[in-house]
Each structure stands twice: as structure tokens, then as C-alpha cells.
Amino acid sequence: MKNPIFLAIDTTDMAKAQSLAHACAPHIGGLKLGLEFFCAHGPAGIQAFAGHGLPIFLDLKLHDIPNTVAKAITALAPLAPALLTIHASGGPAMIAAARKAAPPQTNIIAVTMLTSLDETDMVAIGIPETPATIVPRLAALARASGANGIVCSPHEAAAVRAVWPEGQLIIPGVRPEGADTADQKRVMTPAQALAAGATILVIGRPITAAADPAAAAASIAASL
């Protein structure tokens, strides 16, 4: 099995980002570059990581009308990310437009429900459902609309995997045993998430905030 760990590099500091990528490259399977980094460095910043030889997960969580999302993805196409996120709640037309606009080598991944949210948060925004009902419903929508996979918490992974065996399940909210959960509310250990059906484990602060990031990444990889 290929290494499922994608290192989440959430910083605006290019030197720090490059140092983390270089140190951890032997122990990870890919790099996740998100909105914070992209807003600071743009497309050129993404291209700067090509030399590490790792697939890039561009986590921008696009969410707009179908035409706008399609044009944004067309503009991003030269970066050729391995994965690119949109929000499943953008609806079937937006998801389909994203898939049509993306190059074949870019997998469109639909974010179902942010792992920083729980049932109380959903009630507050007017969606009185549990993650157990919201996530599979949005996963089914994403699948029917042409997405290649979804982002969900590890707690919903098994239910989604049961109905979408071939889909890519990108799992954030992964924390080694005893680690600080920070702003994540629905978490599991890496081994538990993988057993639940994860394709990719997105791990950031347990590695990037460690005294020795390379050692932390190696330890997590060994636990799998």
C-alpha cells in the first residue's frame, strides 16, 4: 500500500513550508496545500513544490455558482494538482461543472461537512441533522454528480465506504493517540481512520508543530 499520509502545510511562510516538505518527504505520500498558503503565494507557490516529487492536494474548497467554479478550475489546471476540493453543498450542477473543467489527472474531491463542526454547530446554522445523516447524503450527491471522492471525518468513513467502495475518502481530523485535538471535533487515530476506509489521511499539526517533524511523520507512518 502506498503511504496514505498527506502532510497539511498550513502556513504563509514559504521557507518553513519548504523545510517541512523536505524533512518529511521520505515518510509521507503527498502534500496538502490549502487556502492560507495559496492566498499568500498563489499558483507560483504551488509550483515551487514540484521538486519534491510528491502529489499535491490543493485544498481550496471552491464554492460558487457552477460557471465561476468551472472557470476557477480552468485557471488552476496548469498546476495539475492530484486532488482539488470543492464543497458538496454547492450542488449537483456545480460538482458536475467542476469535474468537466478539471484535467483528467486531477481528482475532484467534494467536502461534505467540516471536521470542525458538530451537531450543535449544524443546528446553529439551520441544519438540524447529525453528521451520520448529512455526510452519506452529500457523498451520494457527490458520487452521482461526477466527483472522484469526498472529504469526511473518520467517524463517517465506514458508512460512506459501504456505499461507495471505489470512491476516494480523504480524512482530516486525524490525531495520534494522546495528541491535542485543537479545533477538530470528530477525530480518530490514523490507524483507526485507515481501518474505517480512508484512502488518504490528512495530518498537519501533529507533525508540523512537533519538535522534530520528520520523526513525528515517521512515527505515524510506522503506526500504520
Cα 153–Cα 157–Cα 87 angle in degrees, nearest 5: 55
Cβ atoms within 10 Å of 68's Cβ, excluding its own: 13
Quick one: pLDDT at residue 32?
97
Q: Which residue has the cell 515551487?
A: 48
Q: Containing H/E element for 195?
A: helix 190-196
Quick one: pLDDT at residue 7?
97
In the chain the beta strands, taken as DSSP E runs, fall at 5-9, 30-34, 56-62, 83-87, 107-111, 149-151, 168-171, 200-203
Quick one: pLDDT at residue 35?
94
Quick one: pLDDT at residue 116?
82
Is-contact 161 189, C-beta < 8 A? no
Is-contact 170 200, C-beta < 8 A? yes
Quick one: pLDDT at residue 6?
97
**102 three-state secondary structure:** coil
Is-contact 8 37, C-beta < 8 A? no
pTM of structure: 0.91
Active-site annotation holds for 61: yes
As a whole number of angstroms, the distance between CA 6 and CA 25 comes to 10
Is-contact 204 171, C-beta < 8 A? no
Residue 193: domain span: 5-223
**53 three-state secondary structure:** coil
Quick one: pLDDT at residue 27?
97
> For the chain, what is the domain count?
1
Q: Of 32, 61, 71, 185, which one is the catalytic site residue?
A: 61
Cβ atoms within 10 Å of 35's Cβ, excluding its own: 13
Quick one: pLDDT at residue 184?
52
Task: Report the DSSP pairing between strands 30-34 and 56-62.
Answer: parallel
What CATH number does residue 173 fall under? Answer: 3.20.20.70
Query: Digits of tens for pLDDT over the chain (224 positions)?
Result: 589 999 999 899 999 999 999 999 999 999 999 999 999 999 999 999 988 999 999 999 999 999 999 999 999 999 999 999 999 999 999 999 999 999 999 999 999 988 788 888 888 988 888 888 999 999 999 999 999 999 998 889 999 998 899 999 999 978 776 555 555 555 688 999 999 899 999 999 999 999 999 999 999 999 88
Contacts of residue 135, Cβ cutoff 8 Å, sequence gap at least 6 = 112, 113, 150, 152, 153, 156, 159, 160
